[in-house]
């Protein structure tokens, strides 16, 4: 069954090639069909692979397929090879499954856009790159997919490139990602230097022997890889590109924020979990950055008025949760949250897209309101996603978030402070999400009459993915119901062979202290739920019951309000500290070093030769007799030389 | 006659031709001087051929004559064109191809 792993990335690649090479020559229906079918087929293959993998005994669930050697260079052998294990199986299911729904949705969303061919070409390439990323069997091949999603995000964020802000956002995403990529590359170099291989299986098997646990080297590697992850997965300090990424079409935001791209960093950390568990210091850094990002982005999210911006900051915040989980060595919880987040965040973005579509491209929530009765399907599905992200018991987000919070408290790498930050963030999440719901779907209808006239529920191609994702958002968490409810955590069990971590130790620990620990877990869970309900009530009071209260509150704390609306001025600070010096330095290099020195040197030499030539060319008199004289004298001299010397 | 006599004559003719090329202003005279030089070389070739009893020199002379004829044909055509354009065959005046 390992023989057909390559089909998973192959189908989107074929779709990309057909749509890309025949760009502008295919009718809309054909483009739509090819794009959706390619991802759909690869989803089917992914499902088949998943069941094949499940049928294998637990210890043997690692399938490798090497197609050919890509870079044979001495000790460095890089294969075009795929690695299917429980971790990558989960990832390809999420990527192809959610990606497929987003493709279908896009056929409706982009139905009025003339650039549909280019759009679906990029979208297929994006899916292909992400599948390469998660299926790669070595760091360098993973890096190919890593760069591929970076490229596609640039292309898709800047899809409407005639708009200055969109092309700027695309460039920003690309440049910020490059900074992270440098860290990833350096980490890879150290691994190759120390281990002599970049195959995941070999590196992970050799790591305990090669690296000293907790040593400086392995910590450096982990930090460097994490720098790469902060770029791709939008963590402090490199998160700034993600909120701007909403300049692209909304389904692209859904794809970037949910199924692909930003999850790459979390996946990479989980993939390298063996290394990370050996470097507690690096784990602490990951946890602190993750928790800080979660809280930081959530506070910004409470003050934004653009519906997509709220969701963008929510993504940054939720990614912070995932890194918090990885940072306390609960990689399973991180991947679990990645999966549930993929469901509900894709749904939130697609529903927001549906709202924007219905609102004639207005994104400002202050101009919305009362959409509930115009867009019932969008409203219900979005509400379900909101309940999921807020962590209402029973919904998918509750289980994954609770698992992260519990692990950040109970894990041997955890800390009570990390839990408190996660706890506060959970409250903020519920608050800003319900603020969004109340501002958009309830209250006075604040839009203009013209917009209201066009207001309509979205077509079937858009609502159908919403419904499917809504179902997944509700039940998606049920695969990972924690032990404390007296059932097996299937998800954790499934990932256990791949993820290094203190499970065995934790499991025995949990058994020993089952009584008190279960009580604590229920207590913390209850606290979180109470806080979430309280936050929802707060949002209800401020934005539904008495909207004037929120404005007066905003006036009272106008300083704080301005700080949050302006996103803590981070963009401005980066502009002053990083961008401006680089631009100034570049102008110096250009005007002084390049134009003055380098050009001056070359042009100076040219001028010297020109001056010499001015003198030398006088030899060419144009008189035949003078030439003949020189010629004869030369012959005489030569003859004389040969005869008498 | 010894071969040296032919060679002396060839040398004298060559020198006359060379000096003629250097001092003449008339392009036709210049051409004739060039021909004189070529033919002095021919004379030397014939002389060697006879002295050494080999036929190579004769063959070579025919080659030189052919080339000389072709050269004169081209050269005279150019002289005619130059004369038509500039109405002079004084080579000191035909000196714009410089610098």
Contacts of A624 in chain B (CB under 8 A): 30, 91, 94-95
Q: How many structural domains is chain B composed of?
A: 1
Nearest-neighbour CA in chain A from B47: distance (Å):
21
Check CB contact of A624 with chain B, cutoff 8 Å. yes
Distance between CA atoms of A294 and A313, rounded to whole angstroms? Answer: 9
The segments of chain A whose pLDDT lies below 70 read 1, 500-516
- Residue B38 falls within a domain, yes or no? yes
Residue A268 and residue A204 in contact, taking contact as beta carbons nearer than 8 Å: no
Domain of B43 in residue numbering reads as: 3-93
pTM: 0.80
Reduce the DSSP state of residue A138 to 3 states and report it: strand
pLDDT reported for residue A1? 63
Phi, psi of A399 (to 5 degrees): -65, -45
Contacts of B18 in chain A (CB under 8 A): 632
- Residue B81 falls within a domain, yes or no? yes
* CA A205 and chain centroid, separation: 28
- Residue B98 falls within a domain, yes or no? no
Closest CB to B91: pick one of A625, A629, A632. Answer: A625
Reduce the DSSP state of residue A76 to 3 states and report it: strand
Task: Judge: A618–B99 Cβ closer than 8 Å, yes or no.
Answer: yes
Q: Which residues contact A111 (CB under 8 A, 6 or more apart)?
A: A28, A459
Per-residue pLDDT of chain B in tens (99 residues, 90 and over written 9): 788 999 999 999 999 999 999 898 888 999 999 999 999 999 999 999 999 999 999 999 999 999 999 999 999 999 999 899 888 888 888 887 776
pLDDT reported for residue A508? 43
- Between A and B, how many CB-CB pairs are < 8 A? 31
Q: Supply the DSSP string of A182-238, one letter for each residue.
A: HHHHHHHHHHHHHHS--BHHHHHHHHHHHSPTT-HHHHHHHHHHHHHHHHHTT-TTS
pLDDT reported for residue A226? 93
What number is the ipTM of this complex?
0.83
CATH number at residue B38: 1.10.287.3510
Nearest-neighbour CA in chain A from B21: distance (Å):
7
- Residue B52 falls within a domain, yes or no? yes
Q: Which helix (H) or strand (E) holds B53?
A: none
- Residue B99 falls within a domain, yes or no? no
Task: Judge: B23–A625 Cβ closer than 8 Å, yes or no.
Answer: yes
Write out the two tokens for A21.
């090479």
Check CB contact of A622 with chain B, cutoff 8 Å. yes
* CA A102 and chain centroid, separation: 16
- Residue B24 falls within a domain, yes or no? yes
In chain A, the residue whose alpha carbon lies closest to the alpha carbon of B17 is: A632
Task: Judge: A620–B92 Cβ closer than 8 Å, yes or no.
Answer: no
pLDDT reported for residue A512? 45
Nearest-neighbour CA in chain A from B35: distance (Å):
15
pLDDT reported for residue B99? 66
Question: Per residue in A347-381, pLDDT tens?
Answer: 999 999 989 888 888 888 888 888 888 888 999 99
* CA A457 and chain centroid, separation: 30
Nearest-neighbour CA in chain A from B46: distance (Å):
22
- Residue B33 falls within a domain, yes or no? yes
Nearest-neighbour CA in chain B from A614: distance (Å):
9
Among A312, A255, A306, A313, which Cα is nearest to A105's? A255
Check CB contact of A25 with chain B, cutoff 8 Å. no
Contacts of A627 in chain B (CB under 8 A): none
Task: Judge: B99–A624 Cβ closer than 8 Å, yes or no.
Answer: no
Closest CB to B22: pick one of A620, A622, A629. Answer: A629
Closest CB to B95: pick one of A617, A618, A621. Answer: A621
Task: Judge: A623–B92 Cβ closer than 8 Å, yes or no.
Answer: yes
């Amino acid at each position: 069954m390992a023989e057909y792993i390559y089909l998973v990335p192959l189908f989107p690649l074929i779709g990309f090639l057909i749509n890309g090479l025949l760009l502008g020559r295919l009718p809309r229906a054909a483009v739509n069909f090819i794009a959706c079918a390619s991802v759909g087929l690869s989803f089917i293959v992914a499902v088949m692979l998943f069941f094949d993998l499940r049928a294998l005994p637990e210890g043997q669930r690692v399938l490798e397929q090497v197609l050919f050697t890509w870079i044979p260079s001495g000790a460095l052998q890089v294969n075009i090879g795929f690695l299917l294990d429980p971790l990558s199986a989960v990832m390809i299911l999420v990527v192809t499954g959610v990606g497929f729904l987003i493709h279908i949705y896009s056929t409706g969303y982009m139905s009025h856009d003339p650039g549909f061919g280019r759009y679906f070409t990029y979208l297929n390439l994006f899916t292909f790159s992400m599948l390469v990323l998660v299926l790669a069997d070595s760091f360098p091949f993973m890096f190919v997919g890593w760069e591929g999603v970076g490229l596609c995000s640039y292309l898709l964020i800047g899809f409407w490139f005639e708009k200055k802000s969109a092309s700027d956002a695309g460039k920003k995403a690309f440049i910020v990602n490059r900074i992270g990529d440098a860290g990833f590359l350096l980490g890879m170099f150290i691994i190759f230097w120390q281990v002599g291989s970049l195959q995941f299986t070999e590196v992970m098997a050799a790591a305990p022997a090669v690296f000293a646990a907790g040593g400086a080297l392995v910590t450096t590697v982990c930090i460097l890889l994490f720098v790469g992850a902060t770029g791709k997965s939008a963590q402090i300090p490199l998160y700034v590109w993600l909120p701007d990424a909403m300049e692209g079409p909304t389904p692209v935001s859904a794809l970037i924020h949910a199924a692909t791209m930003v999850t790459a960093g979390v996946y990479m950390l989980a993939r390298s979990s063996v290394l990370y568990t050996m470097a507690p210091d690096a784990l602490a850094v990951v946890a602190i950055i993750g928790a800080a990002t979660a809280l930081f982005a959530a506070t910004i999210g409470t003050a934004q008025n653009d519906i997509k911006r709220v969701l963008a900051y929510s993504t940054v915040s939720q990614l912070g949760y995932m890194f918090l989980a990885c940072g306390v060595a609960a990689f399973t919880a991180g991947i679990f949250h990645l999966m549930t987040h993929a469901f509900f965040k894709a749904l939130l973005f697609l529903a927001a897209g549906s709202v924007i579509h219905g609102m004639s491209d207005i994104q400002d929530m202050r101009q919305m309101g009362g959409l509930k009765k115009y867009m019932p399907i969008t409203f219900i599905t979005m509400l379900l996603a909101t309940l999921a992200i807020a962590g209402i018991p029973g919904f998918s987000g509750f289980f994954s978030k609770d698992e992260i919070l519990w692990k950040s408290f109970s894990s041997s790498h955890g800390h009570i402070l990390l839990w408190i930050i996660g706890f506060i963030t959970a409250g903020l999440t519920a608050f800003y999400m319900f603020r969004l719901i109340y501002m958009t779907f309830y209250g006075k209808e604040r839009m203009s009459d013209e917009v209201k006239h066009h207001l309509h529920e979205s077509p079937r191609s858009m609502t159908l993915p919403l419904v499917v994702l809504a179902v997944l958002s509700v039940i998606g968490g049920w695969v990972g119901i924690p032990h404390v409810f007296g059932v097996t955590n299937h998800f954790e069990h499934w990932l256990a062979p791949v993820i290094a971590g203190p499970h065995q130790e934790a499991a025995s620990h949990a058994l020993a202290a089952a009584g008190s620990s279960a009580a604590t877990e229920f207590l913390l869970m209850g606290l979180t739920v109470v806080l979430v309900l309280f936050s929802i009530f707060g949002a209800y009071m401020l934005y539904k019951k008495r909207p004037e209260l929120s404005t007066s509150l905003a006036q009272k704390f106008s300083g704080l309000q301005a700080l949050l609306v302006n996103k803590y001025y981070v963009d401005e600070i980066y502009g002053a500290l990083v961008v401006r010096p680089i631009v100034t330095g570049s102008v110096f290099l250009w005007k002084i070093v390049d134009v003055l020195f380098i050009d001056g040197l070359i042009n100076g030499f040219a001028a010297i030769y020109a001056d010499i030539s001015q003198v030398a060319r006088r030899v060419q008199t144009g008189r035949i007799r003078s030439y003949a004289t020189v010629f004869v004298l030369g012959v005489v001299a030569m003859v004389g030389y040969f005869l008498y010397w | 006659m010894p071969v040296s006599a032919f060679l002396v004559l060839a040398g004298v003719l060559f020198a006359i031709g060379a000096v003629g090329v250097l001092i003449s202003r008339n392009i036709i005279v210049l051409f004739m001087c060039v021909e004189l030089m070529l033919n002095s070389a021919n004379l030397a070739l014939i002389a060697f051929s006879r002295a050494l009893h080999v036929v190579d020199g004769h063959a070579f002379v025919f080659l030189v004559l052919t080339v000389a004829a072709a050269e004169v044909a081209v050269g005279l055509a150019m002289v005619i064109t130059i004369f038509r354009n500039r109405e002079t065959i004084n080579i000191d005046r035909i000196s714009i191809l410089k610098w």
